């Protein structure tokens, strides 16, 4: 499966954020999306999730030579600022989510098994989500997006607020889930991108480009990424 983006453009008033983007993402890979503040990473995700309209261009999934439109159920989108229903407990939220997605979830596990997977302690599972820490809310959001096994998993700086142990567990989880889906991961933490991702993609001057990692050790590779990103002055 491939996600093919053709001539995608988006501007906000005078600011041209995405400029005629042509890019192909392939399943089985984790893509690290790097770009400076304001480069347009969230805008790209919002377009792919159809939260905002594009000005021009299109994107679609291609499987066995057949193209089809990206549907809502194809996409899991983990926001950098977690949005969870604060009036529910963790368990109620998870149960609700499992119930409404019953038909699409393959090999469902028990609610406690899911909590175990993201290391939410038993004593926290029946607390209201409003009393969860930022990192715990983030984990819940990541979990419900992973459970539904989307074809396209968009992660907008999701590991930044997690403690080192959980961030490591989440990395393992994402690695174990990458087969058969396209994972695009935006981050400002270059080491995380290098550690987790199969490809590094830069969003620079409104276009996407892959950074070729061939024959470069990680220091040289980092320098190369920085050099490309530095070209763009603050606007
Ligand atoms: N709804 C909006 N209205 C007007 N301008 C917007 C809107 N959303 C984003 N922008 C502008 O588009 C540009 C790209 O923003 P975006 O949030 O996509 O960048 P980003 O790469 O995710 O940044 P960061 O790394 O800082 O989170 C910025 O200049 C931002 O001000």
Ligand 1 site residues (CB inside 6 A) read 12, 15, 17, 35, 37-43
Ligand 1 atom nearest residue 188's Cα: 25
* 144 part of a folded domain: yes
Rounded distance from Cα 17 to ligand 1 centre (Å): 8
What is the CA(18)–ligand 1 centre distance, in A? Answer: 10
ipTM of the complex: 0.97
CB 203 within 8 A of CB 40: yes
> How does pLDDT run across 208-230, given as a tens digit for each residue?
989 877 766 777 878 878 887 78
- Domain range spanning residue 175? 2-230
Residue 180 lies in a domain: yes
| Å from CA of 43 to ligand 1 middle | 6
Q: 35 and 42 in contact (C-beta within 8 Å)? A: no
Report the atom number in ligand 1 closest to the C-alpha of 157: 27
Residue carrying structure tokens 């990541």: 142
Is position 17 within any domain?
yes
pLDDT score at 70: 95
Query: For residue 143, is it within any domain?
Result: yes
What pTM, to 2 d.p., does this model score? 0.90
On whether residue 235 sits in a domain, the answer given is no
Ligand 1, pocket-test mutation among 13, 42, 201, most atoms within 8 A of CB: 42
Q: Whose CA is nearest to atom 7 of ligand 1?
A: 12
Please name the residue that has the structure tokens 């990473």. 41
Evaluate whether residue 198 is within a structural domain.
Answer: yes
Q: What is the DSSP string of the chain?
A: -EEEEEEEEEEETTEEEEEEEEEEEETT-EEEEE--TTSSHHHHHHHHTTSS--SEEEEEEEETTEEEPPPGGGEEEE-SS----TTSBHHHHHHHHHHHTTTT-SS---HHHHHHHTT--GGGTTSBGGGS-HHHHHHHHHHHHHHT--SEEEEESTTTTS-HHHHHHHHHHHHHH-TTSEEEEE-S-HHHHHHH-SEEEEEETTEEEEPP-TT--HHHHHHHHHHHHHTS---
CATH number of the domain that 109 lies in? Answer: 3.40.50.300
pLDDT attached to residue 7: 96
Distance 12 CA to ligand 1 centre (A): 9
Q: How many domains does the chain have?
A: 1
pLDDT given for residue 215 in this prediction? 63
The residues of the chain scoring below 50 in pLDDT are 233-235
Do the Cβ atoms of 226 and 188 come closer than 8 Å? no
36 belongs to a structural domain: yes
pLDDT of residue 235: 45
Could you write out the DSSP letters of every residue in 66-110? Answer: EEEPPPGGGEEEE-SS----TTSBHHHHHHHHHHHTTTT-SS---
For residue 42, the CA-to-ligand 1 centroid distance in Å is 7
Measured from the CA of 40, which atom of ligand 1 is nearest? 18
Nearest-angstrom CA–CA distance, 139 and 141: 5
128 assigned to some structural domain: yes
Residue from 8, 17, 206 to probe ligand 1 pocket by mutation (most atoms less than 8 Å from CB): 17
């Amino acid at each position: 499966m491939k996600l093919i983006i053709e001539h995608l453009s988006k501007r906000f008033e005078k600011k041209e954020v995405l400029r005629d983007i042509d890019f192909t993402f392939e399943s089985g890979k984790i893509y690290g999306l790097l770009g400076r503040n304001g480069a347009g990473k969230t805008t790209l995700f919002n377009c792919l999730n159809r939260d905002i309209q594009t000005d021009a261009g299109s994107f679609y999934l291609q499987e066995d030579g057949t193209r089809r439109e990206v549907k809502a159920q194809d996409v899991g989108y983990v926001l950098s600022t977690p949005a969870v229903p604060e009036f529910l407990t963790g368990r109620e939220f998870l149960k609700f989510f499992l119930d409404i997605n019953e038909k699409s979830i393959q090999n469902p596990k028990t609610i406690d098994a899911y909590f175990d997977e993201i290391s939410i302690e038993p004593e926290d599972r029946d607390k209201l989500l409003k009393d969860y820490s930022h990192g715990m809310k983030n984990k819940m959001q990541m979990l419900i997006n992973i459970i539904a096994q989307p074809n396209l998993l968009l992660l907008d700086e999701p590991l930044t607020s997690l403690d080192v142990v959980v961030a490591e567990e989440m990395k393992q989880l994402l690695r174990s889930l990458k087969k058969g889906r396209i994972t695009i991961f935006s981050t400002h933490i270059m080491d995380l991108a290098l550690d987790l991702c199969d490809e590094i993609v830069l969003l620079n001057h409104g276009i996407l480009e892959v950074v070729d990692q061939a024959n470069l050790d990680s220091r040289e590779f980092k320098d190369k990424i920085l050099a490309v990103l530095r070209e763009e002055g603050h606007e």
